[in-house]
Every structure is written in structure tokens, then in C-alpha cells.
Amino acid sequence: MAVRAVRGAVQLERDEAGHMDERVSALLTAVLERNRFVADDLISVWFTATPDLHSDFPAAAARGLGIVDVPLICAQELDVTGAMPRVVRVLAHVETSLSKAEISHVYLGATGALRKDIAQ
């Protein structure tokens, strides 16, 4: 068993708490399903949100999915001119038997353009 990191991102259409919960839940569900992870595989999860998002904490979506005994933290993404707006990113650390090459990084919708090198 190894410790691996998995990345992902999703863009929101609007800054509303319910919409954030829906989109971040979809992202986390996709990360878990595509990698065949369960919540017990998670060690910790970092969320970042672009500065134009302030309706809720992205980590609240994880708690809503039942991820309750995993350390979660939220931070603000750098405010870079021209960056894609309304984006939540995730960096999850997991225990897995998957190799680095087997990890599926999940970039939903338009965020696939952020990391064409690893987006699947």
C-alpha cells in the first residue's frame, strides 16, 4: 500500500452554496469512483477556491457525502489575472495499491483545460 495524491477541479456556473455543494460533490464522487476508492482510503483532502467564490466551504460537500473522519482544509487560490473563474480544486492524499500512472485525476467540464497533461 502506498500514499498517492490525486488532483481534480470543477468550475461552478454561479457562486451559490447549493450549487457549490452539487458540483463539488460530483467532483469528489468522480474521484472516488474512477479510482475505485472508498472514504476509508482518504488520508486528507485540500480544497482551494478562486477568490470569486465565497458562498460556502467546498469541504462542506465532502461532509455531506459522509466523509466525516478525514482531515479537510480549504484555502483560497491565488488571484492570477486571466485565470479561469469560479473554480474549486482538490488535492486528495490516499492509501492505495494503484501506481502513480494508474491514478485518475478528474477535471470536470471546462477545467480539463487547466491540466491537459493529467486530465482524464
Q: Give catalytic status of residue 34 as yes or no.
A: no
Q: What is the pTM of this model?
A: 0.93
pLDDT of residue 115: 75
Q: Give catalytic status of residue 63 as yes or no.
A: yes
Residues 40-51 have pLDDT tens digits of 999 999 999 999
Residues 61-120 have pLDDT tens digits of 999 999 999 999 999 999 999 999 999 999 999 999 999 999 999 999 899 888 767 655
| Helix, coil or strand: residue 101 | helix
Cell of 77: 487560490
Question: Do the Cβ atoms of 22 and 66 come closer than 8 Å?
Answer: no
Rg, the chain, Cα only: 14
* Set 4, 7, 23, 86: catalytic member: 7
Q: Give catalytic status of residue 22 as yes or no.
A: no
Q: Give catalytic status of residue 95 as yes or no.
A: no
pLDDT of residue 112: 84
Cell of 5: 495524491
For the chain, helix (H) and strand (E) counts, in that order, are 2, 5
pLDDT of residue 20: 98
Name the percent of the chain in helix, strand, coil, to the closest 5. 30, 30, 40
